[in-house]
Amino acid sequence: MAESRTESPLDPARIRAAEFPRLADSIYLNAAAYAPVPERAHRALVASLERRVAIQELTDQALTDALVSTRSTAARMVGAEAGEIALGWNASYGINLAALSLPVEPGTTVVVSDREFPANVYPWMGKKDTKLDVVPVAPSGRPDEDRLMERLDRGDVSIFTMSSVQFATGYRADLAKLGRFCRERGIFFVVDAIQSLGQLPLDVRELHIDVLATGGHKWLCSPFGTGFAYVRRELIARMEPRWIGWTGMQACSSLESLVDYEWTFRSDARRFEGGTLPYDGYAGLAASLGLLLEVGVDRIERHVLTVLDPLIAWLLETPEAEILSDLNPDCRSAILCFRLPEAERVFEELRGQGVACALREGAIRVAPHLYTSAEQIERVVEILDQCRARRWS
């Protein structure tokens, strides 16, 4: 099998040794749930905590500077300006920001595909001034982009919201096509990018995204409770925060004079940040983003797609296997989902043999990242082959 491998653009063994040494030999294929934090982020978190322990060393300026640097690193990850980034704590933060603050006419419709992760459905269900239309998926269970565009074209839609990569199929949406379609019709385009940022490159301008939401704990390899939202510069002044934080007000720019209350929001996306933030976590987020940018997300993309090849080949030649992911190269991501007979038993077998993956909607979901080697995927194939030889029992 080794001879048929496609060359990977990066060296996962080296990356694992330098940044994820505690993974040791375990086969961690669960980045779509949460990914490991690299050593440099671990060090950044500890250093941030140390500054609280030895607090006499800590200055207001150092805290402010750390957030400035985190916002600008986050901006680089999505092709935005730092002023378009609001630091939040998960994907729900950015989705709620969009649902609460996008300037839409009451009575208009929000469109979402069926089978979206619930984080991108409930905030829209809870939005009382608009209707929600959940567009059925294709027979494959994946979003039906033609049907979605047909729905968007009916003239009553103000917002279209979608995950860049679907959590239960790994389907990668054609965001460029959908974003252009929305922009041409004056429909706001909201993207939940938590399942793609860090494994697939993304540029908010090329994709005509108005608001992007993400959390850090999956593909961004960052601490829980970190994340950010992007808000397109031209929209910020038209979007009133509904969660009001004193740090989002212009009059609170200086800590030396805080009580001249004046109802003016900051002119950039910081208006959406509500009060004191978890600095320690953001130190970790900035460090992890730094690693991913240093390695290059385009290289990570090529790596994670090629590393899955042996598993895809095995699934294709196994008649009992049903692949739920779209294998069209434009629709693939690092998330590969498949059904097998006795999927729960196979999942337990994988777990017992040191392979971490997930069971989602009755399917096995594997999600490799920059630290996953071809040998590890070949080991997974071996285990699955043993399950097949035992007739899945």
Ligand X SMILES: Cc1ncc(COP(=O)(O)O)c(C=O)c1O
Least CB distance from residue 315 to ligand X, whole Å? 22
**Candidates 46-54, 105-113, 188-196, 293-301 — which segment interacts with ligand X by CB under 6 A?**
188-196
Contact call for residues 12 and 19 (beta carbons, < 8 A): no
The candidate with the shortest Cα–Cα distance to 71, out of 254, 244, 246, 273, is: 273
Least CB distance from residue 341 to ligand X, whole Å? 26
The candidate with the shortest Cα–Cα distance to 334, out of 31, 26, 9, 25, is: 31
**Candidates 1-9, 74-82, 190-198, 307-315 — which segment interacts with ligand X by CB under 6 A?**
190-198
The candidate with the shortest Cα–Cα distance to 189, out of 251, 83, 104, is: 104
CB nearer ligand X, residue 35 or residue 75? 35
Q: How far is CA 232 from CA 133, 164, 204, in A?
A: 24, 17, 8
What is d(CA 323, CA 338) in angstroms, rounded to the nearest whole number? 4
**Candidates 10-18, 192-200, 255-263, 280-288 — which segment interacts with ligand X by CB under 6 A?**
192-200
CB nearer ligand X, residue 120 or residue 199? 120
Distance spanning both ends of the chain, measured CA to CA: 26
> Within the chain, where are the H helices?
12-19, 39-53, 60-78, 91-101, 122-125, 145-152, 175-184, 233-236, 279-295, 297-307, 309-316, 343-352, 374-389
Under the binding rule (CB under 6 A), the answer on residue 194 touching ligand X is yes
Under the binding rule (CB under 6 A), the answer on residue 192 touching ligand X is yes
Total Cβ atoms within 10 A of residue 342: 15
Least CB distance from residue 4 to ligand X, whole Å? 32
Buried/exposed 1-40: b ≥16 CB within 10 Å, e otherwise: eeeeeeebebebeebbeebbeebeeebbbbbbeebbbbbb
The mark string for 68-107 relative to ligand X (x by CB under 6 A, - otherwise) is: ----------------------xxx---------------
CB nearer ligand X, residue 10 or residue 100? 100
**Candidates 14-22, 191-199, 337-345, 372-380 — which segment interacts with ligand X by CB under 6 A?**
191-199
Buried/exposed 328-339: b ≥16 CB within 10 Å, e otherwise: eeebbbbbbbbb
- Number of residues counted as binding ligand X (CB under 6 A): 12
Least CB distance from residue 308 to ligand X, whole Å? 19
**Candidates 36-44, 128-136, 187-195, 324-332 — which segment interacts with ligand X by CB under 6 A?**
187-195
Under the binding rule (CB under 6 A), the answer on residue 159 touching ligand X is no
Under the binding rule (CB under 6 A), the answer on residue 120 touching ligand X is yes
Q: How far is CA 282 from CA 25, 93, 119, 162, in A?
A: 29, 15, 22, 26
Least CB distance from residue 194 to ligand X, whole Å? 5
Paired tokens of 101: 């603050």
What is d(CA 8, CA 12) in angstroms, rounded to the nearest whole number? 9
Pick from 12, 36, 198, 215 the residue near ligand X by CB under 6 A.
215
What is d(CA 99, CA 110) in angstroms, rounded to the nearest whole number? 9
Least CB distance from residue 274 to ligand X, whole Å? 16
Pick from 20, 28, 124, 167 the residue near ligand X by CB under 6 A.
167
Q: What is the DSSP letter of 138?
A: P
Pick from 111, 119, 148, 162 the residue near ligand X by CB under 6 A.
119
CB nearer ligand X, residue 272 or residue 314? 272
CB nearer ligand X, residue 195 or residue 222? 195
Under the binding rule (CB under 6 A), the answer on residue 199 touching ligand X is no
Residues forming contacts to ligand X in the complex (CB under 6 A) are 90-92, 117, 119-120, 163, 167, 192, 194-195, 215
